[in-house]
Chain A
Amino acid sequence: MRRYLRVLVLLLIVVVVLYPLIWMVGTSVKSPQEIASNIGLVPETFTPSNFTNGWNNFDVSFGRFFLNSALVSILTVVGNVISCLLAAYALGRLRFRLRGLWFAVMIGTLLLPGHVLIIPQYILFRTLGWVGGDFPYLPLLVPQFLATEAFFVFLMVQFMRGIPRELDEAATIDGASPYRIFQHVILPLSRPALVTTAIFSFIWTWNDFFRQLVYLSELNDYTAPVALTLFIDSTSESAVGPMFAMSLLSLVPVFLFFVAFQRLLVEGINTSGLKG
């Protein structure tokens, strides 16, 4: 009896948790009249034109914004995976002077609120001519190629510490250098940590707003989250449907990652306390 009660309560919580998402899907295909009158989950008239209207709502098509988002996210993944892997190998597996100090500094930067650095970084990148430059995403991407996302360094260090030392030692006795060990032992064995990093890195960047808002000023360069805020400015009723349609579309990649890699994401949180 109590068991059924427990499952019932859980199901109720599922409904509350999922309601906003389902409502979002329903509203994205409601007609303007219905958005004001019918607040239920199921639309009476199916209005797919919200998607085409939303797609073409601004002078630049939303396809462009999604491409920009994809470009930033994918390059961020590449940067994070490579640079954090290198740093983690050094901090987790090699012995060198001051390693303990650098590890402590890395842990310290984990706790550093990103907002504190945004102003001086902006000034720095502006001085370099990167803000609004030929490739306006440099300020968003260069830090990611320099392993500044300490979360991922930490995640990989933790992972690499679990790889048996005997493997390195055996390879060393066989005459392998640290570079060869990296290439032939650590790199292949670190695959799970790399995949976790890649997924989180993509989702976070795709969802990120603050930095993209600060660095992108031309409509052409906007990413999806920045473009979505343009909808808020327009107060007309007819923009609500398209706004929901584009919001929904912008969550699809994250949702697909969730469906495909759910187990990995959950494990990722558990090993490192990464926030979703």
Chain B
Amino acid sequence: MSPAPPREPATHRQAPGVARRRENLPGYLFLSPWLLGLAVITAIPMLLSLYLSFTNYDVLTPLTEAEWVGWDNYRRMFTDDPSYWHSVRVTVTFALVAVPLKLAAALGVALLLNRVFRGVGLFRGLFYLPSLLGGSVALAIVWVSMFNRDGAFNSLLGVFGIEGAPWVNDPKWALETLMLLAIWQFGAPMIIFLAGLKQVPAELYEAASVDGAGAWRQFVHITLPMLSPVIFFNLVLETINGFQGFTSAFVISNGEGGPVDSTLMYTLNLYINGFVRLDMGYASAMAWVFLLAIGLITVVLFRTGRFWVHYSDSEGR
């Protein structure tokens, strides 16, 4: 996923005199499965859900009998459904805490690894493993067991004489447990950071050393600016992912968002409204607000990115 605009491969220029060859028929033939998918799996459902968000459709009655209710779903969402705002707060809190910490962990470990000369591949692989496994139901189950009242985490605390909380059953701590699970999966952004660090020219550090800049100043004035496109890329990716957490919230609360709605992530709330309460019109409205919110956040990220992302050449990343 890249923010780069589509462009012709720079290496290729049509030789002068050769008529620009068009490949309309083969082009559309090869594209046809994708086009069909775009229409049937993406575009039509999107429009359908926009329509449904103005109805009280509930799956059980035929689509044609869904009643038009105007802006009722949206009005209810914003003014008359405390659990809606609650789930917004839970999701935003989750993303605001987990995403920066995950990126910080990823960058920190990448910086450590960048200076190690042997065994980098092994470390990199081991750190990446949680990113592959962490999104599964199986791992969420293990995580929840680990943070039970009598789970492994509390007995570890017990070694130090600290009495732990019943983390996953405590509304004060359940969401934090999920954040920790997200941070544990720092490996994927770490690998991207590591590749970015390799691109920073060593001469810059040498010149800074000659000028007497210490490690911290080199980090602030060389590493961070040179790495800013990669930081930005990871930030966009992880933020969008952070808002969509579902599996771990489902497992920790057995699909209900508990304890006391403390893990009611937006997508889980959407699932409950759509597929448990069968209030699909309302859930469609939720989905559209979600889409607009994610779009808005992405736009804001790109806007603010102009102020702190430095591209070293005009071509972009």
A residues bordering B, Cβ < 8 Å?
3, 6-7, 9-10, 13-14, 17-18, 20-21, 23-24, 27, 36, 39, 83, 86-87, 89-91, 94-97, 99-100, 102-107, 109-124, 126-127, 142-143, 145-148, 151, 153-154, 158, 161, 164-165, 172, 177-179, 182, 203, 206-207, 209-210, 213-214, 225-226, 228-229, 231-233, 240, 243-244, 246-248, 250-251, 254-255, 257-258, 262-263, 265-266, 269-270, 272-276
Contacts and interface: CB of A to CB of B under 8 A. Distances in A.
B49 A120 contact: yes
Contact of B34 (A83, A97, A107, A276): A83
Nearest to A248: B138
Contact of A153 (B34, B52, B136, B288): B34
B27 A94 contact: yes
20 contacts: A20-B184, A87-B34, A90-B27, A90-B30, A90-B34, A111-B298, A117-B46, A120-B44, A121-B45, A147-B34, A151-B1, A182-B30, A203-B132, A207-B133, A232-B251, A248-B138, A251-B136, A251-B138, A265-B132, A276-B132
Given A83-B34, A117-B49, A21 B129 contact: yes
B145 interface: yes
Contacts of B45: 117, 120-121, 123-124
Interface residues of B, number: 103
B27 A36 contact: no
Most buried by A among B21, B137, B295: B137
Contact of A112 (B32, B42, B129): B42
Contacts of B184: 17, 20
B128 interface: yes
Closest 6 CB pairs between A and B? A146-B37, A96-B27, A120-B45, A276-B131, A247-B138, A87-B34
Contacts of A206: 136
A109 B151 CA distance: 41
